Chains A and B, each alone.
Chain A
């Protein structure tokens, strides 16, 4: 049994995982009954998370490896992820381990704390549309494309094997030009798209096998954006641009203004 004073003195080191397993158990037992210590621990954990919050490029094939260990989806699951993701190289493959998941009954107690189940289908549908080709990047912005300097686009134009994609209107007027390097990273090189009102945004799409997948928002006045296509994909993608309400849309609601093939 640990006193409040003893536990309190250890919360910061506990948040850093710097206690041994015996102390860890004692602190956890104390935390179960002490909201004050839980609140202080949460504060320390936020700092610990900030300390550890440095993103690295994810290794290729890691998601495939994780996904291969998930059980098959139930029939009512959302549509499967578009097959744009990189396939794991043979060297990255690990033996699949059997993976048992508790039945939903075990989760019921937690669901009340989370967002209403009614939003699930909508959320799942939204992410199905937006995550596909951008999977390899960690970015808190679902909707907006990251900004890139002109130098990034210039550098991309010097990468061997790059492709320049002219996005043209139906009348062959060039509205934007992108460059995509073999790793799948793409950059907006230049744009002739007129500035939209603040209620509207340009949205970039990757169209593969007739299916449009959001690559992100270009904003009302596109410049300096970067995006990621799944590297190593042998599929042909078409880049398309639509005008959407500010905030973007899950599926294109506007006319595909322009398109160019990668």
Chain B
């Protein structure tokens, strides 16, 4: 008999490719909170984050072959999808206007409701630690790009720094983060 723990993400995606709604629901159960959480953090809007989450899972249903297990985990794949869609939403003109109007509120309520899941909390701790340990200029550039959905050109303008410098800071910061996460034993970055 198939043991419960043996149902891998890759098996689930294969089942999704065979129109298994049940498998899609299980993918949602495992990763939906992360997909939604990231979209919500970037967009600062629960309603828009729900739209992004829907898009991500409908896209997985529609194009399951876009996930390549050889290139990373399913969660990484889904988070990349969530982030890209959230950023697309931000960069549309209307969303930008609405977002800027929300900036003051965003600053005041920047706390992010982290996971209730111990595993995710532990990971979040390690990631927060690795991020906090970065040199300030690298950390700031990464945060503006990733969590605020800015292009590196926008980040350069915001920080009044040459674009080439911002590219280098982000690249160096990402490499430093990776090294720190590997050292901390975070799975998924040590492949």
Contact = CB atoms under 8 A, between A and B. Distances in A.
Interface of A: 9-13, 15-20, 38, 42-59, 62-63, 65-67, 69-70, 73-74, 77-81, 99, 101-102, 104, 106-107, 109-111, 113-117, 119-120, 122-131, 134-144, 146-147, 214, 217, 245, 247-250, 253
A62 B2 contact: no
B188 A46 contact: yes
B37 A49 contact: no
Contact of B21 (A67, A116, A120, A214): A67
Contacts of A137: 29, 33, 117
B5 A55 contact: no
Nearest to B127: A50
A66 B155 CA distance: 35
B20 A12 contact: no
A246 B83 CA distance: 38
Nearest to B10: A115
Contacts of B13: 114
Given A18-B152, A124-B22, A131-B29, A13 B17 contact: no
Contact of A46 (B10, B72, B113, B142): B72
24 contacts: A13-B171, A18-B146, A18-B151, A20-B151, A42-B72, A45-B76, A46-B72, A49-B76, A52-B83, A52-B146, A53-B34, A53-B123, A54-B115, A55-B37, A57-B116, A62-B53, A67-B25, A78-B20, A81-B22, A107-B65, A113-B68, A138-B120, A146-B117, A214-B4
B14 A119 contact: yes
A114 B124 CA distance: 30
Given A50-B123, A66-B28, A42 B71 contact: yes
Contact of A52 (B17, B38, B72): B38
User: Which applies to chain B's interface (DSSP): helix, strand, loop or mixed?
Assistant: helix
Contact of B2 (A47, A101, A250): A250
B54 A142 contact: no
Interface in B120-152: 120, 123-124, 127, 131, 142, 145-146, 149-152
Given A20-B153, A55-B120, A111-B17, 20 more contacts: A17-B83, A17-B149, A44-B174, A47-B189, A54-B37, A55-B117, A58-B36, A63-B25, A80-B21, A101-B62, A110-B64, A111-B65, A117-B14, A119-B11, A123-B15, A126-B2, A127-B15, A127-B26, A137-B117, A247-B6
Given A123-B23, A124-B15, A52 B79 contact: yes
Interface string B171-189: 1011101100100001011
B78 to A, nearest CB: 9
Interface size class of B (residues with CB under 8 A): 35 or more
Contacts of A134: 29
B189 A139 contact: no
B80 A48 contact: yes
B20 to A, nearest CB: 5
